[in-house]
Amino acid sequence: MKGIITKTTGSWYEVQLADGDKWRCRVKGKLRLKESPTTNPIAVGDWVEFEPEMGDKQGIIMGVEPRKNYVVRQSPHKRWQLHLIAANLDQAIVVVTLKQPAIKLGFIDRFLLTTASYRIPTIIVFNKADIYDEFDLEFYEQVREMYEKAGYSTLLVSAQTRQGLDELRELLKDRLTLISGHSGVGKSSLINCIQPHLSLTTGEISNHTEKGQHTTTFAEMFSLDFGGQIIDTPGIKELAFANMTAQDVAHNFVEIFETGKNCRFANCMHQNEPFCAVKTAVENGEIGESRYQNYLVILDEIAEQDYIKRQKNW
């Protein structure tokens, strides 16, 4: 039998058949122990083959079909390993806020790097427009311009006033979309506005830390009554790049890669090399300063992790 993973809860997976029937399955031992760079062998969005076993609609997953793409994050328990978030996506949406909680441009750039690596179109959705004052909106315009210059679409929305929700629904229609972001940015509230019958749990922002509380525990896929599916994920704290090289980073900061074609040297990494078109573009305001600085930070992190691996002979 064949189906798509719609929910993961520890060692059990919910598998949905083409007719909408759902089975509760676990992973065959050999598949679970198979050598893999990830800490989990299966993610929401994977298509799997399974066999029925004793019990009402229970089965054993025997294999996973090849993925067209996937999104990973750093494993919370093993620093140099990756954890699958979702697979076989048509697009991704990263939900952010300018405040409550404060925006982290570094996180946005890391998420975009993760999705760009597998050519997953990604939209940046700025939630909580109802609480922004004039200065916030001016800053939003600056950030929007920077990311649109880099080739990314942005959308300003509010789960409270429903601003932008019609446009958001249109973006989601007939597509499989990963929706992600930090805790507290209002992912669940947005989803509830789009599909009220889901009644996802929402959380409050801590007044002390201005951080959100986790309300989603496991990744889960939901069907939309206007067409398409979304994958809701737990709030992501860390995105790391144990699977990437410095060249991967340079190729997947889209505007840096395109501008870098004009550098004097073909192997320019846009750090300290002379005649660098990227550094010139940053100085001229054609590439966002924060985007470039985050690019440099990630290159330094990869250099450090490569050094540690060599010291440990990994």
* Model pLDDT, residue 54: 76
The Cα 23–Cα 10 span in angstroms is 15
Residues 250 and 217 in one domain: no
Measured distance CA(252)–CA(109) in Å, rounded: 10
Let me know whether 109 and 193 are in one domain.
Answer: yes
Q: Count of CB atoms within 10 A of residue 42's CB?
A: 20
Residue 74 lies in a domain: no
The pLDDT value given to residue 217 = 56
Which of 12-26, 124-138, 183-197, 230-244 shows the lowest mean pLDDT across its residues? 230-244
Residue 14 in any domain: the answer is: yes
Q: How does pLDDT run across 288-299, given as a tens digit for each residue? A: 999 999 999 999
* Element at 188 (helix H, strand E): helix 187-194
Residues 109 and 201 in one domain: yes
**Residue 276 scores a pLDDT above 90:** yes
Measured between alpha carbons, how far is 274 from 264 in angstroms, rounded to an integer?
Answer: 8
pLDDT band at 84 (very low <50, low <70, confident <90, very high): confident
**pLDDT tens-digit profile of 90-146?**
999 999 999 999 999 999 999 999 999 999 999 999 999 999 999 999 999 999 999
Q: Which residues contact 58 (CB under 8 A, 6 or more apart)?
A: 23, 24, 25, 26, 52
| Residue 151: strand, helix, or coil | coil
Q: In this predicted structure, what is the pLDDT of residue 200?
A: 72
Has residue 52 got a pLDDT over 50?
yes
Q: Which one-letter amino acid corresponds to residue 42?
A: I
**Strand pairing report for 220-223 and 229-232:** antiparallel
Domain-located, residue 133: yes
* Of 208, 232, 256, the domain-final residue: 232
Average pLDDT over residues 182-189: 89
Q: Indicate whether 55 and 151 sit together in one domain.
A: no
CATH number of the domain that 304 lies in? 1.10.40.50
Question: What is the span of the domain harbouring residue 264?
Answer: 246-311
Whole-angstrom Cα distance, residue 218 to residue 212?
16
In a shared domain, residues 60 and 191: no
Does 124 share its domain with 199?
A: yes
Residues composing the chain: 314
131 plus 215 within the same structural domain: yes
Structure tokens given for 298:
């990630």
Give a yes or no: residue 82 inside a domain. no
Do residues 88 and 3 make contact, with C-beta atoms less than 8 angstroms apart? no
% pLDDT > 70, the chain: 84
Please give the tally of structural domains in the chain.
3
Look up residue 116 and give its two tokens. 């760009």
73: in domain? no
Is residue 23 a part of any domain in this protein? yes
Q: Are residues 40 and 104 in the same domain?
A: no
Q: What is the pLDDT of residues 67-77, one digit of tens each?
A: 999 998 776 56
SS3 122: strand
Residue 59 pLDDT greater than 90, yes or no:
yes
**Tens digit of each residue's pLDDT (9 = 90 or more) over 155-165:** 999 999 999 99
Pairing assessment for the beta strands 58-64 and 47-52 based on DSSP bridges: antiparallel
**Residues 217 and 104 occupy one common structural domain:** yes
Catalogue the long-range contacts made by 67-70 (C-beta closer than 8 Å, 24 or more residues apart).
69/118, 69/119, 69/120, 70/43, 70/45, 70/118
**Average pLDDT, rounded, for the chain:** 88
Which residue among 177, 198, 232 closes a domain? 232
Is 239 within a domain? no
Question: How far is C-alpha 117 from the geometric centre of its chain's CA atoms?
Answer: 11
Q: Are residues 212 and 257 in the same domain?
A: no
pLDDT of residue 18: 93
For 208-249, what is each residue's pLDDT tens digit? Answer: 444 444 444 578 999 999 999 999 987 666 676 767 899 999
Residue 11 located in a structural domain = yes
Question: Is 200:171 a contact under the CB 8 Å cutoff?
Answer: no
104 and 226: one domain? yes
Q: Of the residues 232, 263, 294, which one is the last residue of a structural domain?
A: 232
Contact between 155 and 164 under an 8 Å Cβ cutoff? The reply is yes
Q: Which CATH number fits the domain that encloses residue 155?
A: 3.40.50.300
Q: How many CB atoms lie within 10 A of CB 25?
A: 25
| pLDDT value, residue 208 | 43
The domain that holds 45 is classified in CATH as 2.40.50.140
What residue type is 60 in one-letter code?
Answer: I
Q: CA–CA separation, 197 vs 207, rounded Å?
A: 29
- Are 114 and 144 within one domain? yes
